[in-house]
């Protein structure tokens, strides 16, 4: 049970990936190693060695943190309504120090040991033996490099890309709206940017489908803001031709998971935190000439 918790808990079933290569999947090394394991599970150890060598080759010249690699084979996994086997590739980059206390006849021996925490999976990929022709269905975790260096694990080493389903589409539009807020409300208060993103998310919570025209009329409203957003969406369509930026089904789990990473807090020196959830008309920013300090005015109906 501890191993099951360590290997599976960090993954989100909604976030699916698959192997890819610009030319052919036959040129994706990890895909080929995993395919060989599925075809002959007795080759698990042999292919595990090749996977470890492949990871080392991709990380040695990129100042990537060392670690231990584990390759596992899982039987009878349930994916939707299908029962299938899976291969797991995991990398341990961080070890924890544990205190070990042994007591006997009133005498205690205290020592420390290094080990792997079952609550902290650093990097992992689980590949299910389904959809082989299109790169298998996989789930990805990278807890140690969520920004730039994440490229080496996802792209350089594994060669996987997200499914462009409603979950990914919804995450993508939320990320784009945050970028648009920085661009469209440049020079305005942080309140305006936060409130705009929150109102956009509220729109998606209330609708089952994202329709750009309806979104513009409901949330943006101002003609100049609508024109700015249309130009922004055209640019994104060129950058992401595989995405449908104008109309797609909204994933409620994606809203819930992505919302946790959106900052909705205005920090004022070290004295106050203001949490903004919408209704930008109820918060105003000003400057007191006598005190030479900024201030916010909040309008509300009742105190809870």
What is residue 197's predicted lDDT score, i.e. its pLDDT? 85
What is residue 1's predicted lDDT score, i.e. its pLDDT? 87
Cα–Cα distance measured from residue 108 to residue 304, given in angstroms and rounded to the nearest whole number: 52
What is residue 264's predicted lDDT score, i.e. its pLDDT? 60
What is residue 280's predicted lDDT score, i.e. its pLDDT? 64
Task: Decide: helix, strand or coil at residue 138.
Answer: strand
Non-local (6+) Cβ contacts of 291 within 8 A are: none
Q: Which is more confidently placed, 98 or 71? A: 71
What mean pLDDT do residues 234-240 have? Answer: 87
Q: Which of 41-55, 132-146, 282-296 has the highest mean pLDDT?
A: 41-55
Q: What is the DSSP letter of 69?
A: E
* Cα Rg, the chain, nearest whole Å: 25
Q: Which is more confidently placed, 28 or 14? A: 28
Q: Are 208 and 166 contacting, i.e. CB atoms less than 8 angstroms apart?
A: no
The pLDDT mean for the chain works out to 85
Q: Which is more confidently placed, 101 or 151? A: 101
Q: Which is more confidently placed, 240 or 271? A: 240
Cα–Cα distance measured from residue 297 to residue 55, given in angstroms and rounded to the nearest whole number: 55
User: Residue 210 — pLDDT band, cuts 50, 70, 90?
Assistant: very high
What mean pLDDT do residues 148-169 have? Answer: 81
Cα–Cα distance measured from residue 4 to residue 177, given in angstroms and rounded to the nearest whole number: 37
What is residue 61's predicted lDDT score, i.e. its pLDDT? 63
23-68 tens-digit pLDDT:
999 999 999 999 999 999 999 999 999 999 998 887 776 666 778 8
Distance separating the N- and C-terminal Cα atoms of the chain: 44
Q: How many CB atoms lie within 10 A of CB 239?
A: 10
Least confident span in 60-74, 119-133, 241-255: 60-74
* Exposed / middle / buried, residue 219 (Cβ in 10 Å: 0-12, 13-18, 19+): middle
Alpha helices in the chain (DSSP H): 2-8, 29-39, 44-59, 150-151, 166-184, 190-206, 212-215, 223-239, 252-259
Q: Which is more confidently placed, 80 or 129? A: 129
Least confident span in 113-117, 130-134, 135-139: 113-117
What is residue 35's predicted lDDT score, i.e. its pLDDT? 97
For the chain, the domains span 2-163, 167-298
Non-local (6+) Cβ contacts of 220 within 8 A are: 226, 229
What mean pLDDT do residues 73-88 have? Answer: 92
What mean pLDDT do residues 202-226 have? Answer: 92
Cα–Cα distance measured from residue 233 to residue 227, given in angstroms and rounded to the nearest whole number: 10
Q: What are phi and psi of 255, to 5 degrees?
A: -65, -45
Non-local (6+) Cβ contacts of 1 within 8 A are: none
Tokens of residue 157, six digits: 């080493």
What mean pLDDT do residues 123-137 have? Answer: 94
């Amino acid at each position: 049970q501890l191993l099951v918790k360590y290997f599976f808990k960090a993954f989100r079933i909604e976030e699916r990936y698959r192997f890819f290569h610009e030319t052919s999947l036959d040129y994706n090394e990890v895909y080929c190693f995993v395919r060989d394991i599925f075809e002959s599970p007795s080759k698990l150890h042999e292919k595990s060695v090749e996977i470890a060598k492949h990871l080392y080759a991709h990380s040695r010249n990129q100042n990537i943190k060392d670690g231990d690699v584990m390759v596992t084979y899982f039987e009878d996994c349930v994916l939707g309504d299908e029962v299938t086997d899976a291969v797991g590739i995991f990398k341990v980059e961080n070890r924890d120090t544990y205190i070990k206390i042994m007591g006997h006849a009133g005498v205690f021996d205290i020592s420390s040991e290094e080990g792997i925490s079952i609550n902290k999976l650093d990097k992992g990929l689980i590949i299910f033996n389904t959809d082989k022709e299109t790169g298998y269905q996989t789930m990805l975790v990278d807890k140690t490099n969520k920004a730039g260096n994440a490229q080496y694990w996802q792209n350089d080493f594994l060669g996987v890309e997200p499914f462009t389903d409603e979950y990914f589409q919804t995450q993508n539009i939320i990320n784009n709206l945050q970028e648009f807020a920085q661009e469209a409300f440049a020079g305005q208060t942080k309140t305006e940017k936060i409130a705009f993103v929150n109102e956009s998310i509220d729109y998606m919570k209330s609708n089952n489908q994202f329709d750009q025209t309806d979104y513009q009329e409901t949330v943006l409203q101002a003609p100049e803001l609508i024109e700015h957003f249309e130009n922004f969406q055209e640019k994104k369509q060129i950058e992401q031709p595989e995405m449908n930026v104008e109309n797609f089904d909204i994933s409620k789990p994606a809203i819930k998971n992505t919302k946790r990473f959106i900052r909705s807090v205005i920090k004022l020196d070290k004295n106050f935190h203001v949490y903004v959830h919408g209704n930008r008309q109820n918060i105003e920013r000003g400057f007191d000439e006598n005190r030479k300090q900024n201030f916010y005015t909040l309008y509300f109906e009742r105190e809870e």
